[in-house]
Amino acid sequence: MAEISASASTSASTPSQDYHPAIDPATFDLVVSGTGLPESLLAAAAAAAGKSVLHLDPNPFYGSHFASIPLPSFSSLLSPSYSSPSPHSSAASTPSYDAIDLHRRPIYSEIETSGSPPEPSRSFLVDLAGPRVLYCADAAVDLLLRSGASHHVEFKSVDASLVYWEGRLSTVPDSRQAIFKDRTLSLAEKSQMMRFLKLVQGHIASDRGGAADEGLGRISEEDLLIPFVEFLRKQRLPPKIRAIILYAIAMADYDQEIVESNKLVTTKEGVETIALYSSSIGRFTNSVGAFLYPMYGHGELPQAFCRCAAVKGALYVLRMPVVSLLIDREKSEYVGVRLASGQDIFSSQLVMEPSCQVPPSLSLSEDLNTSSSTGNVARGVCITSSSLERDSSSVLVVFPPKSLYSEQLTTIRVLQLSSNVAVCPPGLFMVYLSTPCNDAIIGKDYIKAAIHALFATNTLGSSEGSVEPNTEDKESETRPTVLWSCVYVQELAQGSFGPVCLSTLPDEHVDYRNIIESTKELFSKMYSQAEFLPQTSEPGDIEDDNGSAE
């Protein structure tokens, strides 16, 4: 990778103050600060479009808020020190432009840690943006294949998808075979589920120009526009089947039974996600389900796109913060950045990750229409002693709204990972949890309630007045034990377009669809005539568990 490497630093959040060689040239089409997934996609797309790109990161690692980092560095990333180093005096103000200091704001809060991680703690890799997976057939996989970034990432399939219902975990019946094998569904429920999936599959086939399955025809345009939960009621599906379809297959994040909610999924949106889910099952020869997870964590994805950008000529400098924005004195327009090394770099476009605070003098006049909500997402990370499922290493668990207690209004998602994806030692497991929230305390209580429902733990506290699910002592003895946990709240921030562009933070969803769409929209505003990551001359391959490729 084309990179100017700053001197080594032992801190995960403090940039090196030592001498840095000058960057040559000093003028670029695009400067990007931060190597998270949106920034890395933008850098790769711009470089592929023939733009000169300088890609910076104040950290000594790639990934920013999308990184996978050793556990000892995790706390320092959640509570970083944002004291910007003073640039060298050699870069004094000039008559033509002013330097406006740039500041960063914390995006993580309410951090609560319990227990002690097993040693060696550096053998655990933590995803800052977890829990997260990729559909086998989604846009992220297509971008990896088109750009050639798939050459730099390996994947494992997620073994099982489970739903928490009436105090127990059940397999998500997401295919005809899974429905027949499910022992928790009655014969009537299996028939209802099968009939509904046939209806959706017939509509999808009709949309794609094929024949509708068994004469069931298309879903009417009128029904496509109504809330999905209303359409499911019209199909006379019982509450459990509705919950499985809404939250474990259509991936709704908010309670769909609240009529006045502005978070209701339409039938069209629900069917589109079911289509994606269905097309993901069986796309790769040895993938057992719909989802993939990258070896060594999700931080491998931005690194892969950074490598693609480097192949196209982008220049990379780690441990290099942007400390000031350069503003033309006469026109009051952005012209460049000042680096911690003291060097001034000029560019026609700047992209920064959203923890950067853009000065009011550079108003962001045009917001991107991203679908990430404002508010927060509560996240949890646990190290556990054994697997939730005896024969499964990686498991995705969904807690539908109200599945823990009646006050629970959002979906809680849980992802268990093992050593087979190289994120922890053999015999131990990494577990991620998340749920969207407007109130940080309530969000943390949801996460803690899910942990108490799945695991045995005596170390995790809860807020006064919070509700925990009832568990029997005998059951707790057989459940996995939490050895270490961290619960925290992350701010949600939308991307913005203006004199200085801001990318988006990890959102509340389990996949990357919204993040990729907002990133593509930002790129189209920056370079309206350029194609976003066009097909390379040699399409990439994505390998699954046993090396089979598409």
Q: What is the pLDDT of residues 444-502, one digit of tens each?
A: 999 999 999 999 976 565 554 454 554 444 455 588 999 999 999 999 988 888 878 99
Helix axes 139-147, 37-48, angle to 10 degrees: 40
Pull the structure tokens for residue 214: 């068994």
pLDDT of 385 strictly over 60: yes
Pull the structure tokens for residue 224: 């496509």
Name the residue with higher pLDDT: 126 or 103: 126
Residue 262 pLDDT: 82
Cβ-proximal residues to 313 (8 Å cutoff; 6+ apart), any chain:
2, 47, 52, 53
Q: Look at residues 342, 52, 290 and name the one whose alpha carbon lies nearest to residue 171.
A: 290
Q: Provide the H-helix boundaries in 226-357.
A: 228-234, 239-243, 267-280, 300-311
How far apart, in whole angstroms, are the C-alpha atoms of residue 185 and residue 241? Answer: 9
pLDDT of 343 strictly over 90: yes
How far apart, in whole angstroms, are the C-alpha atoms of residue 405 and residue 449? Answer: 9
Asked if 111 and 78 touch (Cβ cutoff 8 Å), the reply is yes
Q: pLDDT-derived band of residue 11, with 50, 70 and 90 as boundaries?
A: very low
Q: Provide the H-helix boundaries in 396-497.
A: 440-454, 473-478
Asked if 342 and 87 touch (Cβ cutoff 8 Å), the reply is yes
Name the residue with higher pLDDT: 217 or 170: 170
CB 525: neighbour CB atoms within 10 A? 14
The class of domain 3-105+296-371+494-526 in CATH terms is: alpha beta
Cβ-proximal residues to 171 (8 Å cutoff; 6+ apart), any chain:
160, 161, 162, 163, 178, 181, 182, 184
Name the residue with higher pLDDT: 496 or 397: 397
Residue 186 pLDDT: 85
Q: What letter would DSSP give residue 266?
A: B
Q: What is the pLDDT of residues 246-262, one digit of tens each?
A: 999 999 999 999 877 78
Q: What is the pLDDT of residues 425-443, one digit of tens each?
A: 999 999 999 999 999 999 9
Q: Mean per-residue pLDDT for 301-316?
A: 96
The β-bridge relationship of strands 412-417 and 395-399 is antiparallel
Residue 6 pLDDT: 41
Q: pLDDT-derived band of residue 391, with 50, 70 and 90 as boundaries?
A: confident
Residue 7 pLDDT: 33
Pull the structure tokens for residue 358: 């853009």
Name the residue with higher pLDDT: 544 or 519: 519
Q: pLDDT-derived band of residue 19, with 50, 70 and 90 as boundaries?
A: low
Phi-psi region of 34 (alpha: psi -120 to 50; beta: other; left: phi over 0): left
Q: What is the pLDDT of residues 494-536, one digit of tens each?
A: 888 887 899 999 999 999 999 999 999 999 999 999 999 998 7
C-alpha dist (Å) from residue 318 to 1, 79, 302:
12, 20, 14
Residue 79 pLDDT: 85
How far apart, in whole angstroms, are the C-alpha atoms of residue 196 and residue 173? Answer: 12
Range in 33-47, 50-64, 177-191, 306-320 the model is least confident about:
177-191
Residue 286 pLDDT: 76
Alpha carbon 293 to its chain centroid, in Å, reads 12
Residue 208 pLDDT: 73
Pull the structure tokens for residue 219: 């879903």
Q: What letter would DSSP give residue 535?
A: P
CATH superfamily membership of 175-280: Guanine Nucleotide Dissociation Inhibitor, domain 1 (1.10.405.10)
Cβ-proximal residues to 331 (8 Å cutoff; 6+ apart), any chain:
none
Q: Mean per-residue pLDDT for 230-238?
A: 94
pLDDT of 156 strictly over 60: yes
Please report which helix (H) or strand (E) contains residue 410, including its range.
none
Residue 14 pLDDT: 44
pLDDT of 210 strictly over 90: no
Q: Mean per-residue pLDDT for 157-177?
A: 90
Please report which helix (H) or strand (E) contains residue 43, including its range.
helix 37-48
CB 181: neighbour CB atoms within 10 A? 11
How far apart, in whole angstroms, are the C-alpha atoms of residue 107 and residue 374? Answer: 13
pLDDT, the chain, mean: 86
Give ∠ CA 328-45-315 in degrees, rounded to 5: 65
pLDDT of 293 strictly over 60: yes
Burial class (CB in 10 A: 0-12, 13-18, 19+), 23: middle
pLDDT above 70 covers what percent of the chain?
A: 83
Range in 47-51, 199-203, 543-547 the model is least confident about:
543-547
pLDDT of 365 strictly over 50: no
Cα radius of gyration (the chain): 24
Residue 211 pLDDT: 53
Q: What is the pLDDT of residues 126-140, one digit of tens each?
A: 999 999 999 999 999
Residue 439 pLDDT: 94
Name the residue with higher pLDDT: 207 or 1: 207
CB 326: neighbour CB atoms within 10 A? 24
Residues composing the chain: 550
Cβ-proximal residues to 35 (8 Å cutoff; 6+ apart), any chain:
55, 57, 59, 62, 63, 64, 302, 303, 306
Residue 372 pLDDT: 38
pLDDT of 10 strictly over 80: no
Alpha carbon 428 to its chain centroid, in Å, reads 23
- Across the beta sheet with 134-135, the strand order is 134-135, 291-294, 155-157
Q: Look at residues 110, 36, 99, 32 and name the one whose alpha carbon lies nearest to residue 66.
A: 36
C-alpha dist (Å) from residue 176 to 194, 250, 287, 395:
7, 17, 17, 20
Residue 15 pLDDT: 44
pLDDT above 90 covers what percent of the chain?
A: 66
Domains of the chain, by residue range, sit at 3-105+296-371+494-526, 175-280
pLDDT of 41 strictly over 90: yes
Q: Mean per-residue pLDDT for 276-292?
A: 88
pTM for this entry: 0.89
How far apart, in whole angstroms, are the C-alpha atoms of residue 351 and residue 526? Answer: 10
How far apart, in whole angstroms, are the C-alpha atoms of residue 381 and residue 414? Answer: 10
The β-bridge relationship of strands 53-56 and 375-384 is unpaired
pLDDT of 17 strictly over 60: no
Range in 97-101, 172-176, 294-298, 385-389 the model is least confident about:
172-176
Residue 316 pLDDT: 97
Residue 468 pLDDT: 53
Q: What letter would DSSP give residue 244?
A: I
